């Protein structure tokens, strides 16, 4: 029919695009590399955002908002950070358009309106924020500063993909300032935990917590902690990062404070972020050839009710039964939609809500009402069952939790099955080519070795897992001694 999906086996990338577009999460826009997030997709983002925001606030953070524009002189202050992002910055050079004298009805950039100093559209906000923090911080009593902002950023990527890599994306970025190194590191790790908890418990996507190697580190960071997830095609996806920035930004922006001993010290910093990319992770971790599968806890819609009408006289009977159910579900905090639109028949609706990944579908007609039951279909397993109307709302509430657990367990089993150890180079290459997933292998700790492995296999070190088991071995490429395995994978 009209919404035929490409199967994962046929073309994984096309399948992903089909889900995003036909599932009405987002669409391409008139702007290169930028997407329109549609209401269904935005509702998902709102649920994710609201939960994260709550978790940030529970850990003592507050929200603020900083400008979209960063004066070039500020942007270049922290050299490594500026260098890291320089190649993908959009830059504002003028502030006015005027009528084109040679082409009626068209506009041109007014050459008279050139800015004294170019404005970089933020690819990340460390620069503008640390420039601001300078005026906020004088004493140790002003610390810590625990600020988060929800914002859009722009990174002029060469090759974009819906949600996974768009030129403009939505995210949150936390920027904290601390009096001591220990406190900053603790904050970095704490936020990594918040991300891991959110992604696993709400998005039902299992993650590996780890630390990045120097090559993969955020530009300007001393250490980058990350959570890595595994997609169904065996590729890894970085789902969130938390950076310990040391005193790099404090020094670049001269942010010092007077400590208890009346001595000037540079402030210690962290930054951490997750973006709309998480939606890409969600899609690729759970969905199937019939469409999206939304984890109940953040699903834009948790329950859909489809009436099976038989003749005009059945409508008021069914509608009345449903209105009670809707009220019961809402009382339990469950989002529900009664789709009694008459322009689509039940079969069409079933397929549509499966495509959109609504966790639970309730169908009922006169036949069911006579028997005091409904037909309940769960999206994760596609199982259908007949369930009593008595206590149905509570039953569904429990079922939603069961679905949440089930899709997490399923993704966890898949992830665990796809972490394999390689002890030789041939084994390593064979696993990457034929099995995908993570490969745990010894590495000598040398960035050049890492680079060579990347050149030869396209696999990168996703992370060195936290609490990694220490075992001596030999680097798969060089044979040099190694004290632990690291996780390699091909990644998005």
Partner RNA sequence: CGGGAUGUAGCGUAGCCCGGUUAUCGCGCCUGGUUUGGGACCAGGAGGUCGCAAGUUCGAAUCUUGCCAUCCCGACCA
Closest separation in Å from C-beta 167 to RNA = 7
Using the minimum distance from each CB to RNA, give the nearer residue, 257 or 428: 428
Q: How far apart are CA 19 and CA 6, in angstroms?
A: 9
Q: How far apart are CA 277 and CA 151, in angstroms?
A: 14
Q: How far apart are CA 479 and CA 469, in angstroms?
A: 19
Q: How far apart are CA 193 and CA 27, in angstroms?
A: 32
Using the minimum distance from each CB to RNA, give the nearer residue, 259 or 446: 446
Using the minimum distance from each CB to RNA, give the nearer residue, 304 or 393: 304
Closest separation in Å from C-beta 117 to RNA = 24
Closest separation in Å from C-beta 342 to RNA = 5
Using the minimum distance from each CB to RNA, give the nearer residue, 125 or 238: 238
- Which residues touch 102 (CB under 8 Å, ≥6 apart)? none
Q: How far apart are CA 364 and CA 366, in angstroms?
A: 7
Q: How far apart are CA 82 and CA 74, in angstroms?
A: 9
Using the minimum distance from each CB to RNA, give the nearer residue, 1 or 9: 1
Closest separation in Å from C-beta 413 to RNA = 24
Closest separation in Å from C-beta 231 to RNA = 12
Using the minimum distance from each CB to RNA, give the nearer residue, 80 or 134: 80
Using the minimum distance from each CB to RNA, give the nearer residue, 28 or 395: 28
Closest separation in Å from C-beta 79 to RNA = 15
Q: How far apart are CA 58 and CA 315, in angstroms?
A: 47
Tokens of 18: 């089909």
Closest separation in Å from C-beta 438 to RNA = 16
Residue whose C-alpha is closest to residue 202's, from 279, 290, 148: 279
Using the minimum distance from each CB to RNA, give the nearer residue, 88 or 110: 88
Residue whose C-alpha is closest to residue 174's, from 163, 187, 185: 187
The strand ranges marked E within 2-113 are 26-28, 35-37, 62-63, 69-71, 91-94, 97-99, 107-109
Asked if omega into 144 is within 30° of 0 (cis), the reply is: yes
Where along the sequence are the contacts to RNA (CB under 7 A)? 1-4, 11, 13-14, 17, 28, 32-33, 84, 87-88, 155, 157-162, 164-167, 169, 216, 218-219, 238, 241, 275-277, 290, 308-311, 342-352, 354-355, 363-368, 374-375, 377, 382, 384, 455, 458, 491-492
Contacts 24+ apart (CB under 8 A), 179-183: 179/140, 179/143, 179/144, 179/257, 179/259, 179/265, 179/267, 179/268, 180/268, 181/246, 181/268, 183/144, 183/268
Using the minimum distance from each CB to RNA, give the nearer residue, 276 or 287: 276
Closest separation in Å from C-beta 301 to RNA = 15
Tokens of 252: 């670049």
Closest separation in Å from C-beta 468 to RNA = 21
Q: Count the Cβ atoms, other than its own, within 10 Å of residue 20.
A: 24
* CA distances to 209, 218, 403, 428, 474 from 444, in Å: 21, 21, 42, 15, 7
Using the minimum distance from each CB to RNA, give the nearer residue, 162 or 192: 162
Closest separation in Å from C-beta 218 to RNA = 6
For residues 118, 123, 128 and 133, what is the CA-based torsion angle, rounded to 10 degrees? -170
Helices (H), 25-146: 39-58, 72-75, 79-86, 126-136
């Amino acid at each position: 029919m009209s919404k035929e999906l490409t199967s994962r086996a046929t073309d994984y990338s096309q399948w992903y695009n089909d889900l995003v577009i036909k599932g009405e999460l987002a669409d391409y826009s008139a702007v290169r590399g930028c997407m329109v997030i549609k209401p269904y997709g935005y509702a998902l983002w709102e649920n994710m955002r609201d939960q994260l925001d709550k978790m940030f606030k529970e850990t003592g953070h507050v929200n603020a908002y900083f400008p979209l524009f960063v004066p070039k002189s500020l942007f270049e202050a922290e050299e490594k950070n500026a260098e890291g992002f320089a190649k993908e910055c959009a830059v504002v050079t003028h502030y006015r358009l005027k009528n084109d004298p040679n082409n009626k009805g068209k506009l041109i950039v007014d050459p008279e309106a050139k800015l004294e100093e170019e404005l970089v559209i933020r690819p990340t906000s460390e620069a503008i924020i640390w420039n601001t923090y300078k005026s906020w911080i004088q004493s140790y009593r002003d610390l810590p500063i625990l600020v988060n902002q929800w914002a859009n950023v722009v990174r002029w990527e060469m090759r974009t993909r819906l949600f996974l890599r768009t030129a403009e994306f939505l995210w949150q970025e936390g920027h904290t300032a601390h009096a001591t190194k220990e406190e900053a590191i603790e904050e970095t790790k704490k936020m990594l935990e918040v991300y891991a908890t959110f992604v696993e418990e709400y998005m039902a996507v299992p993650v590996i917590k780890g630390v990045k190697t120097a090559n993969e580190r955020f530009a300007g960071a001393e250490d980058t902690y990350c959570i890595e997830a595994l997609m169904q095609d065996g590729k890894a996806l970085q789902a969130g990062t938390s950076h310990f920035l040391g005193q790099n930004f404090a020094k670049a922006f001269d942010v010092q404070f007077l400590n208890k001993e009346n001595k000037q010290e540079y402030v210690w910093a962290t930054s951490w972020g997750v973006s709309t990319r998480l939606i890409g992770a969600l899609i690729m971790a759970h969905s199937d050839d019939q469409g999206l599968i939304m984890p109940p806890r953040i699903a834009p819609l948790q329950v859909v009710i489809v009436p099976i009408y038989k003749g005009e006289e059945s409508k008021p009977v069914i509608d009345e039964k449903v209105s009670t159910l809707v009220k019961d579900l809402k009382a339990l905090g469950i989002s529900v939609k009664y789709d009694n639109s008459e322009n689509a028949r039940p079969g069409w609706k079933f397929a549509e809500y499966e495509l959109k990944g609504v966790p639970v579908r309730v169908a009922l007609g006169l036949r069911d009402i006579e028997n005091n039951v409904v037909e309940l279909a769960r999206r994760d397993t596609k199982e259908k069952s007949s369930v009593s109307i008595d206590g149905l709302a509570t039953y569904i509430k429990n079922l939603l939790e069961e679905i949440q657990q089930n899709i997490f367990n399923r993704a966890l089993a898949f992830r665990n099955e796809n972490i394999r150890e390689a002890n030789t180079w041939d084994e390593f290459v064979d696993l990457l080519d034929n099995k995908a997933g993570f490969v745990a292998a010894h590495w000598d700790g040398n960035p050049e070795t890492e680079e060579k492995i990347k050149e030869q296999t396209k696999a990168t070190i996703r992370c060195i897992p936290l609490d990694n088991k220490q075992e001596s071995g030999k680097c798969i490429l060089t044979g040099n001694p190694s004290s632990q395995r690291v996780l390699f994978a091909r990644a998005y």
